[in-house]
């Protein structure tokens, strides 16, 4: 392909079926997949994150999944840097990179070329901000961010305390709003941007079935194993969908039925937030409705747009 090297991007909310479709695309276009999921990066967290199985990974090469421990931190800047290096390596080997995931911030940082603030973590400040949120509520902490950086506050959900804390940390440490520091320098790729969509109630049903399947596959034992390994329930990694709820069950705070119900409700809320992010950052996404298109036709449409 002449001109800029290509980058295929496939996004969509959780439970919509990105993994299987991405593997088929990768096999058709001699591609390799880069994960864009903020929870699939962690080792030992397989079932609850719907990580590609070993069998799926045999069918297509995957990068940026399953490579850090649950008590390690991966900043957005680190993810972006690693993604660019892997994309360039895939191009050098004559293959096609395929960025796949539902973490909008990861995808957007890569394809828009965000300049991510180089502000080192201040653990004391983070502890103070987290304590403020615990005492006064997440909304009060978010209001502090809105006063200092209205644009960042608009982009970050009040309940995402970790991101609110980080935005405030950047503002306080640098003296500048994080939104002003996040300049964009689009990477030199020809981007083929595709998204999967589905009517929301149908998607909720799929997500609920997936939660049930995770429980049957041993999700409770997976969380129990993480705790036995010494990973604290307060780690950011353990805030993922289902993990917090299963921890509450294992600590006898709620029943398993309640944990499952709360996980399903949290997943629905997460889907709504994902869809909001994608709408706000739609820079020419070609959308494919899973309900109205046969999988083979959908694959043909995406592959044709990439290779002509």
Tokens of 193: 């941007």
SS3 state of residue 187 = coil
Domain boundaries for CATH 3.40.50.300 within the chain: 8-114+191-307
Cβ–Cβ < 8 Å for 116, 109: yes
What are the residues facing 6 on neighbouring strands?
190
Question: What dihedral angle (degrees, nearest 10) is formed by the CA atoms of 294, 296, 297, 303?
Answer: 140
**Nearest to residue 226, comparing CAs of 73, 70, 40?**
70
For the chain, 308 residues long, give each residue's pLDDT as a single digit of tens: 458 999 999 999 999 999 999 999 999 999 999 999 999 999 999 999 999 999 999 999 999 999 999 999 898 989 999 999 999 999 999 999 999 999 999 999 999 998 877 777 888 999 999 999 999 999 999 999 999 999 889 889 898 898 899 999 989 988 888 877 677 889 999 999 999 999 999 999 999 999 999 999 999 999 999 999 999 999 999 999 999 999 999 999 999 999 999 999 999 999 999 999 999 889 899 999 888 766 677 778 777 877 76
Indicate the pairing of strand 6-11 with strand 190-197. parallel
Q: Would you identify the CATH topology of the domain 123-181?
A: Histone, subunit A (1.10.20)
Write the CATH number of the domain with boundaries 8-114+191-307: 3.40.50.300
Say how far apart CA 152 and CA 150 lie, in whole Å.
6
Say how far apart CA 2 and CA 190 lie, in whole Å.
10
pTM of the model: 0.84
Sign for the CA dihedral angle at 260, 265, 270, 275 comes to positive
What are the residues facing 97 on neighbouring strands?
32
DSSP state letter for 42: B
Domain boundaries for CATH 1.10.20.140 within the chain: 123-181
């Amino acid at each position: 392909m002449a001109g800029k090297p290509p980058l295929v991007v496939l996004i969509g909310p959780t439970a919509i079926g990105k993994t299987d479709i991405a593997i088929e695309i990768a096999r058709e276009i001699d591609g390799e997949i880069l994960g864009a999921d903020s929870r699939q990066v962690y080792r030992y967290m397989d079932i609850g994150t719907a990580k590609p199985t070993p069998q799926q990974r045999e069918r297509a090469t995957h990068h940026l999944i399953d490579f850090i421990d649950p008590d390690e931190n991966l900043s957005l800047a680190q993810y972006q840097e690693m993604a660019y290096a892997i994309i360039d390596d895939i191009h050098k080997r004559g293959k096609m990179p395929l960025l796949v995931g539902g973490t909008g911030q990861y995808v957007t940082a890569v394809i828009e070329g965000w300049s991510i603030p180089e502000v080192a973590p201040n653990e004391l400040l983070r502890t103070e901000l987290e304590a403020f949120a615990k005492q006064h509520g997440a909304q009060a902490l978010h209001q502090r961010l809105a006063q200092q950086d209205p644009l960042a506050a608009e982009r970050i959900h009040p309940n995402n305390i970790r991101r609110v804390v980080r935005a405030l940390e950047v503002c306080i440490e640098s003296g500048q709003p994080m939104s002003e520091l996040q300049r964009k320098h689009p990477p030199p790729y020809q981007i083929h941007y595709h998204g999967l969509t589905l009517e929301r109630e149908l998607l909720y049903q799929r997500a609920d079935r997936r939660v049930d399947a995770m429980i049957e596959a041993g999700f409770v034992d997976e969380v129990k194993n993480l705790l036995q390994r010494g990973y604290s329930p307060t780690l950011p990694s353990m805030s993922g969908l289902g993990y917090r709820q299963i921890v509450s069950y294992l600590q006898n705070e709620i029943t398993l039925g309640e944990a499952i119900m709360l996980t399903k409700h949290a997943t629905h809320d997460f889907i709504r937030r994902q869809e909001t992010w994608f709408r706000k950052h739609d820079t020419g996404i070609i959308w494919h409705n899973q309900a109205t298109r046969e999988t083979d036709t959908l694959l043909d449409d995406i592959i044709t747009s990439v290779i002509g």
